[in-house]
Amino acid sequence: MVYLSLFHLIILFSPIHIGEVAEYTYYMEDNKVHLLFMVDLDELEPLKSDLSCDYSKMLSICTSNYIKDNSTLFINDRPIEFELESSNVRNKHLYIYFIAIYKVSDIDKVSVYNNCFYQINPHFKNRVIIDFENYRASYLLGIESQNLNCLIKDN
């Protein structure tokens, strides 16, 4: 039998600062695509110099606009439009929850274009997690690999 101490449980279930990585989890719920974005707050510091948005007062809105402008999910070659659903900060990480504007059915192909944070830091990585019905995968994208294409069903 395995016993875990409180210390081990805290380590297992607490986000750790990996540095230079943001995470995008795409999943389905009620025929709508959801996106959970997570990043360490320190990674957003360079964006605060962008005068087009006041990051000090509207961190979640500015960051969600940045994500929508620099990352696109395509399902069956159709871009999915997201709107901000909610956000929170926990353990020095920003979590932003998005929901697709319209419903999706019968997914054959998934593609992701992600150009987030590369102009700030060319060593940055974006972890893309896709969790759609019978397809679950995780990919690490970098400046050289900003595009991801997945065939979900063979026709």
Query: How far is the CA of 73 from the CAs of 35, 118, 139, 149, in angstroms?
Result: 10, 18, 14, 10
User: Rounded to the nearest 10 degrees, how much is the dihedral formed by the CA atoms of 22, 27, 29, 33?
Assistant: 80
With a cut of 80, say whether residue 8 has pLDDT above it.
Answer: no
**pTM of full prediction above 0.85:** no
- pLDDT, tens digit (0-9, with 9 covering 90-100), for 49-100: 877 888 888 999 999 999 999 999 999 999 999 999 999 999 999 999 999 9
Domain boundaries, the chain: 19-151
d(CA 47, CA 60) in angstroms, rounded, equals: 12
CA–CA separation, 129 and 12 (whole Å): 19
Among the residue ranges 23-27, 79-83, 91-95, 117-121, the one predicted with the least confidence is 117-121
Q: Pick the residue with more confidence: 2 or 44?
A: 44
Average of per-residue pLDDT values in the chain: 85
At 154 the pLDDT is 56
